[in-house]
Amino acid sequence: MTQFKALSDRANILFIMRLTFALISLELGLALVYSYFDISLGSEADTWPLALTLVGTIILAPLFETWLCQYLFFKLAGWIGARVQNINVASIFVSTSSLFFAVMHNDSIWFMLYALFAGIALAYCFLHFFNLYQSLMISFWFTVILHALFNSAVLILDHFMAS
C-alpha cells in the first residue's frame, strides 16, 4: 500500500481522530486537576509571538519531535520487524520513547508529566502504524499528524481559556 493510500484510508483517519480525542480528553482532565491545585505549566512557548507559536507548535515541533522521539529512536533501537509484535519490546519502546519526549518538555515537572501522556499516545500511534504497515515513513506521517492535531487543539483551548 502506498503512503498516500494509507494516509487516506478511512479506518486510519478514524483511528487518528479517536486517538486525538482521547488524548485531548486526558489532557483536559489533567489541566483541570492542575487548575484546581493552582499549578502552572509555564511553557516557554507561551512567550513566543503568535506566528512563531503557530509554525513552531503545529509544524516544526511535530516534525522534529516525531523524527527524534519515535522515528529515529525506533530505528536506532533496532526494533524493526516482527520482534515489535512482542509485548515486552513494544512496552519498552513506548515507555522509553515517552519518557524521552517528556524530558524534552522540561519547562517544569508538571509540564513534563503533561507531556508524558502525549508521548505515550504518540509512541503508541507510531507503533500501531508500524505494526500495521511495516513502514517507518507511514508511521512517521501518522504520528506527525496526530501531534499536529493535538498541538492545534491545545493552542485553541489555551486561547479560549485565556480569554
Q: What is the pLDDT of residues 48-106, one digit of tens each?
A: 788 888 999 999 999 999 999 999 888 876 655 445 556 666 777 788 899 999 999 99
Contact yes or no for 101/107 (Cβ under 8 A): no
Q: For the whole model, what pTM was predicted?
A: 0.89
Q: CA geometry: angle at 120 spanning 19 and 156, to 5°?
A: 55
- The CA-to-CA distance between both ends of the chain, in Å, stands at 45
- Say if residues 138 and 7 touch (Cβ distance below 8 Å): yes
